[in-house]
Amino acid sequence: MSSPKGASKPSPIHRAGFVSFVGRPNVGKSTLTNALVGEKVAITSSKPQTTRRAIRGIVHAADGQLIIVDTPGIHRPRTLLGQRLNDVVTATLGDVDVIGMCFPANERIGPGDRFINESLNDFPRAKKVAIVTKIDATSRPAVAQQLLAVSELRDWEAIVPVSATSRIQLDVLLKELVALLPESPSLYPDEQRTDETLEARISELIREAALEGVSDELPHSLAVTIDDMVERDDKDLVEIYANLWVERDSQKGIVIGHGGERLQDVGARARAQIEPLVGKQVFLSLRVKVAREWQRDPKQLGRLGF
């Protein structure tokens, strides 16, 4: 069959693939993921090492689809939980097309950055891009200095300065990342932004609310499970029954707060985030429970979803 007259030009190249952002804790990986995806999919927090799961955010660009696999910070394991985090990182990075290593513009490159940069040699398949984050937080000369320092670490495919919170250069970064992906049709439907289950996203929002304004020892000791989600027939309402797990009785006190005030606050903040997600009113029941030393116990880790 001959081709019809005036057949349309071959369509432009479409790309799709996986990217993972790595870097020391607190360099802005989760915030960058959220800013690129345009919807809250990854937990962000001012506390380091709060990202546990490989969460995918999906960015739909005109010429490609970028699937972001958000990994926890690479660090040396201290507990069994730490060990599992590193396993997640290794499994994830072995599988992605592009690794975006993040360096905050406002902090000098240190041994932690060098350690991670060197470990990237173990993943030869992935193309490596340097992302200088938080450029809003420092001066232009300091950003320039950081770009130079980063360029000396390895032969990057690209070096892109960005600010996730001020939304500076996000389009440039997206273009660079998509250009490095393999030619492929979209891997996910257009309307989809994440492949996390609703339950997992709700758990993360509760965890994030519970971590706000607590002392540094708590983040690793906090896990959330959802017992039940009930859609009410008579009202536009979802009832969510969740447990907040801590390791020690003393931590239980911290989470609940004086007269239960803190827990009420946590519930209110979590609910405000969950309601737009489920598109309904939410009744949220939070119970704080103690699972002793759960970070070191494989059985408990399994039960808590790690």
Binding site for ligand GTP (CB under 6 A): 25-31, 44-46, 48-51, 72-73, 133-134, 136-137, 163-165
Any known ligand binding at 133? yes
Any known ligand binding at 280? no
Nearer to ligand GTP, 126 or 132 (CB): 132
Q: Least distance to ligand GTP from the beta carbon of 297, Å?
A: 23
243 CB neighbour count, 10 Å cutoff: 18
Any known ligand binding at 26? yes
Nearer to ligand GTP, 173 or 202 (CB): 173
Q: Least distance to ligand GTP from the beta carbon of 80, Å?
A: 19
Nearer to ligand GTP, 49 or 119 (CB): 49
CA 135 to chain centre: 20
Q: Least distance to ligand GTP from the beta carbon of 270, Å?
A: 17
Nearer to ligand GTP, 29 or 271 (CB): 29
Distance CA(302)–CA(297), nearest Å, equals: 9
91 CB neighbour count, 10 Å cutoff: 11
- Please name every residue paired with 168 in a beta bridge, in sequence order, or none if there are none: 163
Distance CA(86)–CA(22), nearest Å, equals: 12
Q: Least distance to ligand GTP from the beta carbon of 170, Å?
A: 10
* Burial label, 46 (beta-carbon count in 10 A; 0-12, 13-18, 19+): exposed
- Please name every residue paired with 290 in a beta bridge, in sequence order, or none if there are none: 246
Residue stretches of the annotated binding site for GTP: 23-30, 70-74, 133-136
